């Protein structure tokens, strides 16, 4: 049977570039070298601890130099040409490369460095600093210059999922990496600076605050929290899409006007642990979900598609891989802004009843299925 093919290369400054070719790819196996003259990579950023919360903040000043809304002819994620000296030398199906201006990395702790162990950043203190170890990668879903995950075809979606699984395994094995997070930001309203269909993968040197809160809930409730949530939602009115291996639903206590969670029916801690059958079905259901979200209104919906995975070294048997897709869009021409209560106090106020949004999403998915079947 044909397989998705992985081809590893290097960019001119030494960063890793990986091509993932579709099962039905028409591309030749050879890839052009990157012949640009590039500056040295910026130094690894430094994290500082906020003693009021214990959270670590990466001060990544090099990100100020990243490309913001370039003209269409200068797309840094499109294949290189004589007039477009982009990051990717050859045409591709899916391409993954190290971010030139990362929030974490490129440095990793040496063997024996305490920073390589879980818990090395625990505790509270004043003036605490630590290197922003880790790695940040860009995942290009297509060579097309505009679009999002929902605009690619089924075979390409399967290739992206395979890339997520491959990179999750590889990044989880790096020294000092404690959690791996694939995500897609879509839309200028979210802060997207490139219209090219792409996502990112962050590899953190700590367990993130959102996951720390989840761990506290699991420790309080018990290790069956995800299984029980899924069972509860599958018997309720908020399911929007379901298959043999996955179910998507609007959560009972949705914070955002549009919020959808998706869980696998069997426990898997991350993409690397998913089976081929789970990946095959996800390629279909995820496309249907995203196209349905876009069909809610007459123009594309901004969103953050966050794939939460278990940390590398803890709670692997109780934290389940899950999608949390959120959008601030609360109407055709209205956005939810995080103001005093949400931004300052973390006390959320929902704008749309979850049951009403689930009903609207089911109808939108049905329209999208009819107009653009996967």
Just list the catalytic residues: 198
The SS3 of residue 199 is strand
Q: What angle do CA 362, 275, 258 make, to 5 degrees?
A: 25
Cα 295 off chain centre by: 22
The neighbour count for residue 94, using CB atoms within 10 Å, is 28
Instruction: State the DSSP code for 341.
Output: I
Instruction: State the DSSP code for 271.
Output: G
- N-term to C-term CA, the chain: 22
CA distance 295 to 301: 8
CA distances from 355 to 250, 295, 347, 350 (A): 7, 18, 21, 12
Q: What angle do CA 68, 72, 75 make, to 5 degrees?
A: 60
Strand order in the sheet with 135-140: 5-10, 16-21, 94-98, 135-140, 198-204, 179-186, 303-308, 322-327, 258-264, 246-249, 239-242
Contacts of 35 (CB under 8 A, 6+ apart): 12, 89
Cis peptide leading into residue 106 (ω within 30°) = yes
CA distances from 132 to 48, 109, 121, 199, 310 (A): 9, 10, 11, 21, 20
The torsion of the CA quartet 201, 91, 278, 197, rounded to 10 degrees, works out to 50
Nearest of 76, 115, 328 to residue 204 by alpha carbon = 115
CA distance 78 to 58: 29
Residues facing 20 on adjacent strands: 6, 94
């Amino acid at each position: 049977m044909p397989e998705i093919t992985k081809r590893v290369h290097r960019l001119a400054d030494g960063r890793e570039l990986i091509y993932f070719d579709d099962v039905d790819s028409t591309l030749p196996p050879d890839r052009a070298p990157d012949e640009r003259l590039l500056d040295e990579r910026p130094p690894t950023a430094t994290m500082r601890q906020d003693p009021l919360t214990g959270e670590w903040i990466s001060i990544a000043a090099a990100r100020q130099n990243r490309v913001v809304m370039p003209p269409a002819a200068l797309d840094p994620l499109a294949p290189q040409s004589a007039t477009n000296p982009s990051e990717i030398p050859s045409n591709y199906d899916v391409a993954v490369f190290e971010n030139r201006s990362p929030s974490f990395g490129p440095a990793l702790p040496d063997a024996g460095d305490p920073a390589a162990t879980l818990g090395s950043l625990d505790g509270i203190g004043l003036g605490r600093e630590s290197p922003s170890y880790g790695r940040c990668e860009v995942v290009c879903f297509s060579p097309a210059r505009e679009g999002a995950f929902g605009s690619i075809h089924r075979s390409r979606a399967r290739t992206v999922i395979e890339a997520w699984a491959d990179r999750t395994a590889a990044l989880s094995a790096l020294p000092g990496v404690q959690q791996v997070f694939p995500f897609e930001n879509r839309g200028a309203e979210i802060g997207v600076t490139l219209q090219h269909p792409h996502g990112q993968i962050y590899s953190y040197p700590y367990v993130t605050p959102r996951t720390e809160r989840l761990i506290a809930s699991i420790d309080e409730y018990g290790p069956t929290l995800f299984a029980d949530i899924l069972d509860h939602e599958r018997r309720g009115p908020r399911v929007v899409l379901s298959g043999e291996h996955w179910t998507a639903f609007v959560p009972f206590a949705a914070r955002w006007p549009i919020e959808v969670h998706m869980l696998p029916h069997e426990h898997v801690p991350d993409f690397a642990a998913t089976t081929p059958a789970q990946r095959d079905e996800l390629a279909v259901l995820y496309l249907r979900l995203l196209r349905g979200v876009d069909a809610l209104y007459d123009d594309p919906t901004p969103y953050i598609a966050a794939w939460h995975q278990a940390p590398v070294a803890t709670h692997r048997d109780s934290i389940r891989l899950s999608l949390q897709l959120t959008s601030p869009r609360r109407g055709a021409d209205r956005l939810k802004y995080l103001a005093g209560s949400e931004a300052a106090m973390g006390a959320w106020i929902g704008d749309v009843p979850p049951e009403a949004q689930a009903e609207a999403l089911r109808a939108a998915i049905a329209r999208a299925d009819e107009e653009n079947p996967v």
